[in-house]
Structure 1
């Protein structure tokens, strides 16, 4: 296997004992705001011509890294209680973007890809650095696109972090070709800043089929809501080409939707225990990839009902295998794979080769960790083949990947003795996941137990 570090690296950290469900789950779980919407909203508000609000934003590692990076370039972001009630709200006050500045991207794809085009608009140098894994994640398409549009970027020829963008206070923009087959974020990154480029931007995708198209649709929808003129293939434009006209952006009052992808483990809990879970405020219409869970988990044996109270998923006590192309919703794969490992028949998860370039090599990691617990999992060229077998407890390594940690928690509901390594990594997009999880079960959060993989 390639792409993940399987060495022991010394004594294992104290893992989290995943709680078991002693009965069918019956709970209502309020999921925090969408990371994808929050970080796009922060970028657009920072580039607007007037102040704006983000209400019910997600407060997590990825979103705080985005906010701190924008502050470093001069944007005012005031955090506090919503003056109109209803939780937290952030006031975003645009400013003339300035360097020198230093940006810590952590391991957040949205920060490392969305902000270099913003930095090209700053007056001065902006240096980007991040976690060790961030050095391995692809960024070259954004770097080369910025150079083609007139920006100066110094990356030592790596096409990856660390790097410095030397902003000139403006960017000509215009037409650029990008192979975004490794990440739809390459397209979104250029579109988000496009209204501020002197000529706008025309992004032409030149590679294989784009993954995660719902995220590009989210970017387009949010741009239009902020006043931008966007031409897309779906609106009658040229296939594989997106155009954003130069314009001023409006300061919006944006209410952030719940993160539907982060609802995946909670809905899965209903499916694998034959119970019922309701997620309040599930939108009737959305561009979030997580909305696909309704169809996927129905195909795997559950039933869904969307009402004014939210989305309720009810399990039947039976979990079916699935043959699914997850190309557009790859971020859902870890939890779907965990559910598939508990099914009564084989599953084939296809169209997700790009997951090898995410927070970790998710395909290799899932094959390894599910296999260690007894499942028969085979990597394919573009996905996973999951053949359920009786599972046993053990340490489930997460490789600092939040979605692997939540997948492990799903397994722990029905498999005794599952220990989740570094459950704290879930704070990347889902603050206090252990508290939400045990609250769903009506339990007290268990203390970590020191253990080592046998």
Structure 2
């Protein structure tokens, strides 16, 4: 297969497969940060082997940590940089590296220069930089509120109360909370603005902090969605930790069961997940799937008909693109909301999926914070290839569409290596009906 082009396989009938997926990127990078901030060495099992996690590991090494990798295991020993050091961190196009590492860098006695891919310079980070300044961190960004910027660490951060608008990304809050136990006064973070997307990812941060020994409180000013978090100063000890499978990367495989009327089992699906498992399964069920659990794992089975639905995906925005592909093959119209912030992710995801599906004869339009999908007969036009815009989720969306639309050629498929390097092989195995 050409590393840049891929012919998405079409399903000749219901797919039936059992898969074991790589570890969660979101959990992996949080675990790596907590290990770097711990009082003693940590051992993390099931580390995702992909570009985003590799960038996080390289960043921690640049900040003085020792990271020894053995397959999917990583042993992390906290380290220290010499006073007055100057180091660089490449964030690539990773939101977690760009937003989680600046607070960690501020705790070193070094000038840490952050930069990344051209698209990363357009992604929201200004609210985090302003919050860190309020908490006592010196940052030079020439007023851009964006990459590139330099964090001038002094070895400590005063901390305290801060208010920011985190409506652009939940990572803006998590980036403060993760390092907060090491701030002299901890931190009190209050969100002010439109609702924070992906709140389950902040809850993931809170639970992982607590499991590592930190004292964390969360509250809500209106009794509804949390908008206030307090982390007390104190020790952090991650210890030995196992990363869950990535349930957002399970999304397209489960959508395949829905689209083809087949059955897909994900091994090792967590019983009490740190991820938004219930929200994922709820929308799949509403679209016509049934969900069962067994000793093997979690199984999603399609009925042969995809229902059109209206769903708020604010808590599971990673599912928007594969679900949009499924909705384009549904029996009725759908609308997905709560995902306006995804216009500022790896690409403008809403504009990208509208353009690509409509080029195949579809009828998808943008809403103020989401998408409207009216199913139409789709075809792969001669000479047209599905553009992925350097976004791993666009590759996954193309794969789901390809199940029901023969001949879709996907450009720059290698970009899926950001979070799932073996995706195309796993997908082809799925369509063939192999177990893995």
| Bin for the TM-score computed over the shorter chain | over 0.9
Structure 1 residue 443: Cα displacement: 8.0
Residues 16, 433 of structure 2: 8 Å contact kept:
no
Residue 264 of structure 1 contacts residue 290 of structure 1 at CA under 8 Å; is this kept in 2? no
- C-alpha change, 1:239 and 1:317, in structure 2 (3 Å) is closer
Asked if 2 retains the 8 angstrom alpha-carbon contact of 1:38 and 1:63, the reply is yes
Say which SS state the counterpart of residue 292 (structure 2) adopts: strand
- Look up the match of 2:54: 64
Instruction: Return the alpha-carbon distance in structure 2 between the equivalents of residues 399 and 291 of structure 1.
Output: 30
The 10-residue stretch of structure 1 (56-65 or 279-288) with the greater mean CA deviation from structure 2: 279-288
Q: Quick one: which of 245, 253, 257 aligns to 2:240?
A: 253
Aligned to 1:44: 34
5+ residue gaps, structure 2, are none
> Does the 8 Å contact 1:19/1:409 carry over to 2?
yes
> Post-superposition shift, 1:15?
2.2
| 1:84 matched residue in structure 2 | none
Q: Would the aligned equivalents of 1:97 and 1:169 in 2 still touch at CA under 8 Å?
A: no
Q: How does the TM-score come out when normalised to structure 1?
A: 0.91
Q: Distance in 1 between the 2:95 and 2:412 partners?
A: 20
2:227 maps to 1:240: yes
Distance in 2, matches of 1:23 and 1:377, equals: 26
Q: Residues 156 and 229 from structure 1, CA distance in 2 versus in 1: closer, same or farther, beyond 3 angstroms?
A: same
SS at 1:168 equivalent: coil
Q: Secondary structure at the match of 2:385?
A: strand
Matches within 5 A, 1:388-407: 388-393=375-380, 394-407=384-397
Determine the structure 2 residue equivalent to 1:141. Answer: 127
Mapped to 1, the partners of 2:160 and 2:29 lie a distance apart of 24
2:82 is equivalent to residue 95 of structure 1: no
How many residues are paired up?
427
Structure 2: distance between partners of 1:330 and 1:414: 23
Contact 2:4 2:414 in 1 (8 A): no
Partner of 2:15: 25
1:207 matches 2:193: yes
**Pair 1:122-2:112 in alignment:** no
CA RMSD of aligned residues (A): 1.8
Counterpart pick for 1:352 among 334, 339, 344: 339
CA gap of 1:43–1:440, structure 2 versus 1, over 3 A, is same
The residue matched to 1:117 in structure 2 has which SS? helix
1:285 has 2:269 as partner: no
State the SS of the aligned residue for 1:100: strand
Q: Which residues of 2 match residues 153-192 of structure 1 at below 5 A?
A: 153-192=139-178
CA distance 1:275–1:443, change in 2 (3 Å): closer
Match of 2:210, SS state, is helix
1:374 equivalent in structure 2? 361
Among 404, 425, 431, the alignment partner of 1:435 is: 425
Other structure's SS at 1:24 match: coil
Instruction: List alignment gaps of at least 5 residues for structure 1.
Output: 1-11, 82-87, 445-454
Aligned partners of 1:294, 1:160: CA distance in 2, in Å?
36
Residues 1:194 and 2:180 aligned together:
yes
Q: 1:337 & 1:174 partners in 2: Cα distance? A: 42
Structure 1 counterpart of 2:118: 132
Deviation at 1:289, TM superposition (A): 2.8
Q: Report if the CA contact (8 A) 1:48-1:251 is conserved.
A: yes
